[in-house]
């Protein structure tokens, strides 16, 4: 196996990376700063970015950083299920037995949120991931459920996240009410070429290898063919390691990167 050949203790681009071990790119730091600000204002925040840029991983870091005696984090991947399933899930995660009718369910969710915030002094934090395909009706429902005392206060934090098209959807006329209530919005950009190099070294180091395994031209080729998206960088470099091992070489060069991108379809 390539891992023992190079001396890795685990696969360097293992998905299960501990959230405290994430690479701190400029975009990553910026997202966390925005979310920190959202902690003080509460209300709605928006984070968009292309697939594999690091949205979900960074939100996990934020969620893990919150003190559980002050915040209750609820994460909803929105790609599957109906909106009714989501409202029920929302009520359920707030400790309620979901009511059957939509209107009652909305009241129930609102009451559970105010109870949590006013009586128990815990801020509920909702993370709605993969929101790019949300319907206009659903976005409208959100602006109703999360409207407290005629929008005078925000006893919650709600982070909407998804592909860049989500920002366009929110800008449409019928979704303006939600759009105008966003406290912070951020577009997550990919790693710069320098960050790609540091990112790979960072992940190698955490997998137990500190020596250099990649030459300069190869770093450039990796950066340009992946566009700096961490998920693609991981797939490509893993493929490079496999090929380098098959050839029994000790350094990844440009030629290997090209062969690996063809195989990995990047």
Ligand X SMILES: Nc1ncnc2c1ncn2[C@@H]1O[C@H](COP(=O)(O)OP(=O)(O)O)[C@@H](O)[C@H]1O
Can you give the binding site for ligand X, defined by CB under 6 A? 15, 17, 22-23, 25, 28, 49, 51-57, 230-231, 234
**Minimum distance from CB of 250 to Mg ion (Å)?**
35
User: Which 26-55 residues touch Mg ion, going by CB under 5 A?
Assistant: 55
Phi, psi of 191 (to 5 degrees): -70, 145
Contact 32, 63 (CB under 8 A): no
Residue 246, Cβ neighbours under 10 Å: how many? 11
Q: Which does 28 bind (CB under 5 to 8 A by kind): ligand X, Mg ion, none?
A: ligand X
Pick from Mg ion, ligand X, none: which does 228 bind, CB < 5 to 8 A by kind? none
Among 56, 147, 177, 215, binds Mg ion (CB under 5 A): 56
Partner whose binding site includes residue 231, from Mg ion, ligand X, none (CB under 5 to 8 Å by kind): ligand X
Residue 39's binding partner out of ligand X, Mg ion, none, with CB under 5 to 8 Å set by partner kind = none
CA 129-176-76 angle, to 5 degrees, is: 15
| 226 token code pair | 């992946």
Nearest to 234 by CA among 20, 22, 60: 22
Residue 196 or 257: the one with the smaller Cβ distance to ligand X is 196
CB of 126 to ligand X, least distance (A): 17
Whether the CB-CB separation of 236 and 222 falls below 8 Å is answered with yes
Shorter beta-carbon distance to ligand X: residue 22 or 260: 22
Cβ 92 to ligand X, closest distance in Å?
24
* Cβ closest to ligand X, residue 25 vs residue 175: 25
Say which residues have a Cβ less than 8 Å from residue 150's Cβ, sequence separation at least 6: none
Cβ atoms within 10 A of the Cβ of 104, count?
Answer: 12
- Based on CB atoms, which residue is closest to ligand X, 57 or 238? 57
Q: How far is the CB of 31 from ligand X (least distance, A)?
A: 10
Considering beta carbons, is residue 56 or 192 the nearer one to Mg ion?
56
Tell which residue, 46, 75, 30, 57, has the closest CA to residue 168.
46
DSSP H or E stretch at residue 42 = none
CB 127 within 8 A of CB 73: yes
Question: Which of 55, 72 has the CB closer to Mg ion?
Answer: 55
| Residues found near Mg ion in the complex (CB under 5 A) | 55-56
């Amino acid at each position: 196996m390539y891992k023992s050949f190079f001396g890795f203790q685990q696969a360097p681009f293992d998905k299960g990376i501990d959230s405290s071990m994430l690479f701190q790119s400029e975009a990553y730091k910026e997202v966390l700063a925005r979310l920190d600000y959202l902690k003080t204002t509460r209300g709605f925040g928006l984070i968009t970015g292309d697939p594999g840029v690091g949205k979900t991983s960074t939100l996990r870091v934020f969620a893990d950083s919150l003190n559980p005696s002050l915040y209750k984090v609820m994460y909803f991947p929105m790609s599957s299920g109906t909106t009714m399933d989501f409202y029920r899930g929302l009520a359920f995660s707030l400790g309620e037995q979901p009511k059957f009718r939509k209107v009652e369910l909305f009241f129930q969710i609102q009451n559970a949120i105010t109870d949590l915030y006013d009586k128990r002094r815990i801020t509920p934090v909702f993370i709605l991931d993969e929101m790019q395909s949300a319907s206009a009706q659903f976005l409208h429902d959100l602006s109703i459920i999360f409207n407290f005392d005629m929008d005078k206060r925000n006893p919650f934090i709600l982070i909407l996240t998804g592909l860049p098209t989500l920002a366009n959807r929110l800008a449409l006329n019928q979704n303006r009410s939600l759009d105008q209530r966003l406290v912070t919005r951020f577009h997550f950009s990919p790693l710069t070429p320098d960050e790609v190099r540091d990112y790979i070294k960072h992940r190698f180091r955490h997998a137990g290898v500190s020596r250099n395994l990649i030459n300069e031209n190869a770093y450039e080729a990796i950066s340009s063919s992946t566009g700096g998206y961490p998920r693609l960088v991981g797939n490509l470099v893993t493929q490079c390691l496999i090929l380098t091992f098959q050839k029994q070489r000790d350094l990844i060069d440009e030629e290997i990167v090209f062969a690996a991108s063809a195989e990995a379809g990047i």
